[in-house]
Amino acid sequence: MSSYIASIVSVIGINMILALSLNIISGFCGQVSLGHAAFYGIGAYTAAYLAKLGAPLPVTLLAGTIMAGAIGIVVGLTSLRVRHDFLAVTTMGIGFVFLGFVRKQKWLGGELGISGIPGPGLDPLVYAGLIVLFAAAVIVFSIWLKRSWMGFTFDAVADDEDAARTVGVNVSTYKLTAFGIGTALAGLAGGLYIYFARIILPDTFDFVQSIAILTMVVIGGTGSVWGVVAATIGLTLLPEVSRAAADYRLLIFGAMLMLVMRFSPGGLAGLAALVWRPKANS
């Protein structure tokens, strides 16, 4: 039972880091990204490769974070001139490029991925606790970032890039900053994942995974830290509660996404605000 609990807690923590990392890009700065799983995979493959060479956990996590963030900035540079639908298609293409690359590289295991990854040298419950600490740190960082002057500038860029530019905001710099931070945190999630799974396959980081991460952000409420946290916990636990929910995971996620976009575009955060406001005014 303790191993099962450690497994669930680990998955929730990793998904939370992923969802919050995308929230910085899409929720805070208004950039649509449909290939976020690629940066998750970059962090995972980097960390796994180094772990197989004997590198310790701190080194592999740091390397995966830096690699994903660096490639994220490069991708961000190529995407500065596109917006909205064109940006969505561009980021989606990055995901397909990543999968095509790793599947053809024998030194990365090709279609079979990387197996036999050494463990973190910690008890599963202790490692799950470490993942929770990282997730908590990302929550605190997200709250701080949202309330900082950089967060307010992200809001301005998300609301109207042209208006932000007219008041002296270097829009390109802030978009790259958000993309770099978000993709680096996705790489951190990838590094944490390899020690939990002990094997990685290309399909783990496919387009479906990107949509799953995006669903957590949208259902939680883009830009809301606590909404995304709540949605991540709920959507991660859903397949564990019911086997039917696990078998129809994508169908359920898609239906929930459509319902949220139709009846509560602000997600759980927007719904909570509507419920709370009348009580606050009474």
For 163-199, write each residue's pLDDT tens digit.
888 888 888 899 999 999 999 999 999 999 999 999 9
Give the Cβ contact number of residue 173 at 10 Å: 12
The pLDDT value given to residue 1? 47
The pLDDT value given to residue 242? 61
Q: Collapsing DSSP states into helix, strand and coil, what is residue 200?
A: strand
The CA distance from 94 to 210, in Å, is 11
Segments making up each domain of the chain, as ranges: 2-204
DSSP 23: I
What is the pLDDT averaged over residues 4-28?
93
Which CATH number describes the domain made up of 2-204? Answer: 1.10.3470.10
Q: Please state the length of the chain.
A: 282
The pLDDT value given to residue 256? 77
Q: Can you list the pairs that 76-79 forms with residues at least 24 positions away whose Cβ atoms lie under 8 Å?
A: 76/175, 76/176, 76/179, 76/180, 76/183, 77/176, 79/179
**Model confidence at 274: pLDDT above 70:** no
Q: What is the mean pLDDT of the chain?
A: 87
pTM of this prediction exceeds 0.85: yes
The CA distance from 26 to 178, in Å, is 9
Report H helices in 160-224: 161-166, 171-197, 207-220
**Model confidence at 253: pLDDT above 90:** no
Instruction: Name the residue type at position 79.
Output: S
Task: With cut-offs at 50, 70 and 90, classify the pLDDT of residue 272.
Answer: low
The pLDDT value given to residue 244? 59
The CA distance from 100 to 214, in Å, is 22
The pLDDT value given to residue 91? 83
For 119-145, write each residue's pLDDT tens digit.
888 888 899 999 999 999 999 999 999
The CA distance from 280 to 282, in Å, is 6
**Model confidence at 280: pLDDT above 70:** no
Q: Can you list the pairs that 150-159 forms with residues at least 24 positions away whose Cβ atoms lie under 8 Å?
A: 150/174, 150/177, 151/28, 154/28, 154/29, 154/30, 154/178, 155/28, 157/29, 157/30, 158/28, 158/29, 158/30, 158/223, 159/30
The pLDDT value given to residue 114? 92
